[in-house]
């Protein structure tokens, strides 16, 4: 078993030992942290996309434009 799997299994076993109310609180905390991390990731991706657009690294067009370009 890998170290990562072992750590994950240990975390699950630790959660199993918590009272149900504590497990529920933990779920809420982990979920909100996940949402915040995802929001930060998306913000970074959006900023990178805006920068690429401003630098002329991307173009706008329709699906038909893309297909025509790919056919060339």
| Proportion of the chain above pLDDT 70, given as a percent | 99
Print the domain residue range for 48: 3-71
Q: Give residue 1's pLDDT band: very low, low, confident or very high (50, 70, 90).
A: low
- CB within 8 A of 15, min separation 6: which ones? 23, 26
What does each C-alpha distance from 8 to 11, 24, 27, 38, 40 come to in angstroms? 5, 18, 15, 21, 24
* Domains: count for the chain: 1
Using CA atoms, how far apart are residues 68 and 66, in angstroms rounded to an integer? 5
- Token pair 């970074």 is found at 44
Mean pLDDT of the chain: 93
């Amino acid at each position: 078993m890998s170290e990562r799997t072992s750590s994950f299994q240990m975390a699950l076993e630790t959660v199993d030992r918590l009272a149900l109310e504590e497990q529920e609180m933990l779920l809420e905390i982990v979920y909100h942290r996940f949402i915040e991390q995802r929001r930060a990731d998306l913000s970074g991706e959006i900023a990178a996309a805006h920068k690429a657009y401003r630098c002329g690294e991307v173009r706008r067009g329709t699906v038909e434009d893309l297909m025509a370009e790919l056919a060339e």
